[in-house]
Amino acid sequence: MTLYPLQFSPLFKYRIWGGEKLKTQLNKNYSEENIGESWEISDVEGDETKVVSGALQGKTLKDLISEYKGAFVGEKVYKEFGSDFPLLIKFIDAKTPLSIQVHPSNEIARERHNSFGKNEMWYVMQADNDAELIVGFDEEVSQADYKKHLENNTVLDVMHHETVKSGDTFYIPTGRVHAIGAGVLLAEIQQTSDITYRIYDYDRVDAKTGQKRDLHNDLAIDVLDYTVHDNYKTDYNIGKNEAHILVNSPYFKTNIIEVEGTLKRDHTALDSFVIYMCVEGDLELQYDDVNYTVKTGETILLPAAIPSVELKSSGAKCIEVFM
């Protein structure tokens, strides 16, 4: 069977901090309240997304990798990851702040949880006035200093708070403390992992459970990177019908593309699947004389065997994701 561009049915996740923007701004279709995450493309065990339409309808990523191997993910990707799909693609709406958290490295995650680590990136799609993110530390602290701040409930005082707007991009390597603040809607690209160590959760009680959520400070303390950086935000260029690098990491690579008119994208040299996340406007993707519409807040996956596609729009921005 010939592979074709694939769209998946998203999975909607209740979160204590979730709001309504995934529905009101990204037109997601769900009836529950406090939906904070839309998992667009997922191979997390128990949370596998399925193909929406066409001859491969209902197939999971595992099914596709099992059947098509390198033709689906790319030969080098298949050699490294086997039957595991390496990325998890999400849209996130924070009505109230997420917990202050950190993710373990590949090595620690493998040792403690038999999982990948969780290097990730954020692209802010919309932010309310004065909305902010927490990324990294603002001042040098030792592990002993950090423990004192935890005990005194002053840990937020030493973290870097950054007011954000649409288009702001952040790479969050494992070990970097972080949190999405209230009023932020963003696209997230990450390794396939659901391992999060919560450090601080504002003493909130989850209405669904009547309990405070667990903290993981014993696990987090030796994972944290206390290095202070001058700048945590990713600087990048953008131009019409050009692909500009957002993140170039060992775990995934992303470009930002502003499409106006028609743009041909040739992926023959990549040896990887390619994912497009539409973060602004509406995008049309053409392959083999078939048109696929990708609206704001939607994603599409191109198997590695697809050599090139045409992108068309009267004005759209998309993130191109590959290994």
Domain containing 317 — which CATH number?
2.60.120.10
- Known binding residues are 103, 120, 178
Average pLDDT over residues 182-189: 98
For residue 29, give its domain range: 8-220
| Model confidence pLDDT, tens digit, residues 62-117 | 999 999 999 999 999 999 999 999 999 999 999 999 989 999 888 898 899 888 88
Verify that 97 and 141 share a domain, yes or no. Answer: yes
The rounded percent of the chain whose pLDDT value lies above 90 is: 80
Residues belonging to the active site: 198
SS (H, E, C) 61-97: HHHHHHHHCHHHHCHHHHHHHCCCCCEEEEEEEECCC
Verify that 261 and 292 share a domain, yes or no. Answer: yes
How far, in Å, CA of 64 to CA of 42, rounded? 13
Q: Which of 220, 252, 287 is the last residue of a domain?
A: 220
Verify that 168 and 309 share a domain, yes or no. Answer: no
Verify that 215 and 261 share a domain, yes or no. Answer: no
Whether residue 204 lies inside any domain: the answer is: yes
Verify that 94 and 151 share a domain, yes or no. Answer: yes
Q: Which of 170, 188, 220 is the last residue of a domain?
A: 220
* pTM of the complete model: 0.95
How far, in Å, CA of 172 to CA of 229, rounded? 12
If you ran DSSP here, which 8-state letter would residue 233 be given?
B
- Known binding residues for Zn(2+) are 103, 120, 178
pLDDT tops 90 at residue 1: no
How far, in Å, CA of 260 to CA of 113, rounded? 45
Q: Which three-class secondary structure state does DSSP give residue 111?
A: helix
Verify that 211 and 301 share a domain, yes or no. Answer: no
If you ran DSSP here, which 8-state letter would residue 250 be given?
S
Verify that 18 and 95 share a domain, yes or no. Answer: yes
Confidence of residue 119 (pLDDT cuts 50, 70, 90): very high
Q: What is the residue-wise DSSP string for 264-289?
A: EEE-TTT-S-EEEEEEES-EEEEETT
pLDDT tops 90 at residue 215: no
What is the domain count for the chain? 2
Verify that 144 and 262 share a domain, yes or no. Answer: no
